[in-house]
């Protein structure tokens, strides 16, 4: 059986503008005066499609998410931190009914092990194509995480047998 053939779950959840680890939107299309350009990003799913980041309006949200995502010492952190120190504007000033905070969690399981990948961001009425693209990217990452877990489990079992 190929890893790509394993069953997987995709869960989308939305949250109001309350407590969240939401950071902002990565895109080349959606940008405004608040957006910062990301040079040499260190997330696997970044490529030429995701060059700009439009951030959240609360400093704590930036710092919490960046810390959890492992970007704290990377170039993206420096750019986001530079932005955080400046005057933050509320994204919702564009149209509060248009934007929603969202999280997509993808899980892939095999033999009791589960690989997961998650992305927090903003969701608008951009449609199913955008969601499908996010799910596809996260599925690849979840599969990679599952393979890594399986590799670690095999090494652990080999050490036990010795």
C-alpha torsion angle, residues 23, 102, 149, 38 (rounded to 10): -30
pLDDT digits (tens, 9 = 90+) for 69-107: 544 444 544 554 444 443 334 444 544 444 455 667 788
The mean pLDDT value for 118-131 works out to 58
pTM value?
0.48
Residues 6+ away with beta carbon under 8 Å from 53: 23, 24, 25, 26, 35, 36, 38, 76, 79, 80
């Amino acid at each position: 059986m190929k890893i790509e053939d394993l069953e997987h779950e995709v869960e989308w959840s939305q949250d109001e503008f309350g407590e969240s680890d939401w950071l902002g939107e990565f895109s080349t299309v959606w940008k405004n005066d608040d957006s910062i350009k990301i040079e040499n990003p260190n997330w696997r799913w970044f490529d030429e499609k995701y060059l700009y980041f439009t951030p959240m309006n609360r400093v704590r949200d930036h710092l919490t998410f960046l810390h959890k995502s492992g970007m704290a010492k990377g170039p993206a952190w420096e750019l986001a931190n530079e932005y955080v120190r400046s005057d933050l504007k509320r994204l919702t000033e564009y149209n509060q009914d248009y934007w929603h905070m969202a999280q997509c969690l993808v899980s892939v399981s095999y033999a009791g092990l589960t690989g997961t990948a998650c992305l927090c961001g903003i969701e608008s009425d951009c449609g199913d194509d955008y969601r499908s693209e996010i799910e596809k990217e996260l599925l690849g990452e979840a599969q990679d995480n599952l393979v890594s877990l399986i590799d670690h489990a095999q090494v652990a079992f080999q050490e036990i047998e010795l």
